Amino acid sequence: MIKIRMPLFITRHVLLALILGGVAGIGFMVFLTEFDHFTSTEAFCTNCHSMELVAEPYRESAHFRPASGVRASCGDCHVSEGVFAATWDHFIGGKDLYNQIFGPDYDDPVIAKLHMPEAAFSAREWFKKRNSATCKRCHVKEAIFGTRPDTVEIHKQDAKDKSCIECHYNLVHAKVPAESVFKRDEWNRMVEQEFGLKRGAADKLLEK
């Protein structure tokens, strides 16, 4: 029988603390993983009515309804891979919850649509900074064969130094122009038309 000789400073109390700490640590990690999983689901995100508005066009998109059945859920695209990164994203995402409670009434479809462009811009920026990492969870550039013969060549040659989001945006949610050409006035007029509001009503709603 091998006798393990403990260092002297490992007293019984220390041993107990280590075991308890270890279990708690594992528990915490499991909790984080589960928490990240749970908070990445469509069901969780659409708990807020405002997110339901965003989800509507998503449910019509190829990311919800692909021929292959590989469905991307909210977190698959909008939450980073890895427990720490995912937790961090959720922590930062907490500001959305704060705004949902204390900010404008995003549950109102008009308000949601009026604020949507800024949300889209920051989401695009997020993707860009991460080199479209979450897209690459499923999509491999070299494996994009498309339905036309030149799709492979385009991705090999012309899109060589680009990440997905630089070309592919406006795929899932309602269409928003690129920030560089976005015109707030035109957007407001469109929202007014869509919801049958008087001209100028959108600007007033935004000032609130």
Binding residue (CB under 8 A) for other proteins from 59, 65, 129, 183: 183
What is the per-residue DSSP string for 75-119?
HHHHS-SSHHHHHHHHHHHHHHHHHHHHSS-TTSHHHHHHHHHHH
Binding residue (CB under 8 A) for other proteins from 103, 187, 197, 203: 187
CB atoms within 10 A of CB 5: 6
Q: Is 55 exposed, middle or buried (0-12, 13-18, 19+ CB in 10 A)?
A: middle
Binding residue (CB under 8 A) for other proteins from 65, 129, 175, 204: 175
Binding residue (CB under 8 A) for other proteins from 180, 196, 198, 207: 180
Q: Is 103 in the site for other proteins (CB under 8 A)?
A: no
Binding residue (CB under 8 A) for other proteins from 72, 164, 188, 205: 188
Q: Is 115 in the site for other proteins (CB under 8 A)?
A: no
- Give the nearer residue to other proteins in terms of CB position, either 119 or 154: 154
Q: Is residue 34 within a helix (H) or strand (E), and if so which, with residue range?
A: helix 12-39
* Residues within the interface to other proteins (CB under 8 A): 150-151, 153-154, 157-158, 162, 166-167, 174-178, 180-183, 186-191
